[in-house]
């Protein structure tokens, strides 16, 4: 059951990201076992046949190291997306993947671009900036965790290594930032105190009833009357302080 505005666990938070990573692993396993090479299905910029890589490219990896480096961040970030942003999780993941791929197709070098790193950068950028823009403490805390875990990724949006598709990284970073601006609604309700609510009535506030019209504290609330029987039961204790003198 969906609980709007609240954080809660459900199986899809783990299962969907796990299936996403499992699909990538299966593709790599099929290539290794059957000696296949799906690199031709990657993104090849500014060629019509290269557009198919927008969908297939994220599932293809060159070697085990490439696969390992992408699998864990992809699982962690997708899980965070599905837990904290339930209402827009599929929009961010699906349209983010397509938009990142298309932007890579536009700006990339004339070479095959493969791997899920573009999607990872998109998720990293979205979770980072969305949390900061939200000004909501759970989402801001998530942003700091993302910075702590994957803040070093920022260097790879620049052309540091010719073997790395920095164009895909840059595309994902830009798309995640744009999505953080587009989806402005916070997925978590900001907690309101009683006096912040529209139907708040100060006269019904139990705390304020302990103060008189001049702001002085009174033991018995203003809306409670003391009966005569209660008055007779009141016991007054007077304390007399006598200073001790050594001469006495």
Q: Check: CB of residue 108 under 8 Å from CB of residue 50.
A: no
pTM given for the model: 0.77
d(CA 147, CA 207): 43
Q: What is the pLDDT of residue 30?
A: 97
Residue 148 tokens, joined: 């702590």
221-231 per-position pLDDT tens digit: 555 555 555 55
Residue 220 has pLDDT above 70, yes or no: no
Delineate the domains of the chain, giving CATH numbers in brackets: 12-182 (1.20.1540.10), 194-233 (no CATH)
Handedness of CA 84, 85, 89, 95 (dihedral sign): negative
d(CA 149, CA 37): 32
Identify the band that residue 1 occupies on the pLDDT scale cut at 50, 70 and 90: very low
Q: What is the pLDDT of residue 214?
A: 65
Residue 55 tokens, joined: 């969908």
pLDDT, mean over the chain? 85
d(CA 165, CA 177): 19
Residues with Cβ within 8 Å of 62's Cβ and at least 6 positions away in sequence, in order, are 39, 114, 115
Residue 160 tokens, joined: 């540091």
d(CA 30, CA 23): 11
61, 96, 189, 3: CA torsion to nearest 10: -70
**Most confident segment among 119-123, 154-158, 190-194:** 119-123
Q: What is the pLDDT of residue 196?
A: 54
48-98 per-position pLDDT tens digit: 999 999 999 999 999 999 999 999 999 999 999 999 999 999 999 999 999
Residue 168 tokens, joined: 């895909």
DSSP state of 217: B
Q: Average pLDDT of 170-198?
A: 80
């Amino acid at each position: 059951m969906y609980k709007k505005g609240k954080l809660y666990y459900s199986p899809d938070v783990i299962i969907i990201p796990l299936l996403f990573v499992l699909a990538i692993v299966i593709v790599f396993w099929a290539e290794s076992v059957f000696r296949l090479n799906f690199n031709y299905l990657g993104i090849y910029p500014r060629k019509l046949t290269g557009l198919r890589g927008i969908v297939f490219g994220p599932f293809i990896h060159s070697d085990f190291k490439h696969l390992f480096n992408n699998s864990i961040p992809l699982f962690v970030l997708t899980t965070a997306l599905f837990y904290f942003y339930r209402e827009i999780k599929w929009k961010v993941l699906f349209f983010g993947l397509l938009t990142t791929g298309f932007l890579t197709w536009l700006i990339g070098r004339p070479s095959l671009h493969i791997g899920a790193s573009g999607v990872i950068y998109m998720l990293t950028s979205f979770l980072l900036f969305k949390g900061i823009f939200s000004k909501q403490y759970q989402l801001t805390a998530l942003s700091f965790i993302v910075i702590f875990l994957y803040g070093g990724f920022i260097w790879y949006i620049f052309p540091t290594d010719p073997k790395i598709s920095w164009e895909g990284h840059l595309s994902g970073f830009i798309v995640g930032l744009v999505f953080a601006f587009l989806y402005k609604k916070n997925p978590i309700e900001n907690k309101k105190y009683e006096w912040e609510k529209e139907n708040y009535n100060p006269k019904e506030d139990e705390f304020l009833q302990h103060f008189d019209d001049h702001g002085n504290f009174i033991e018995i609330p203003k809306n409670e009357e003391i009966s005569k029987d209660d008055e007779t039961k009141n016991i007054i204790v007077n304390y007399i302080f006598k200073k001790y003198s050594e001469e006495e």
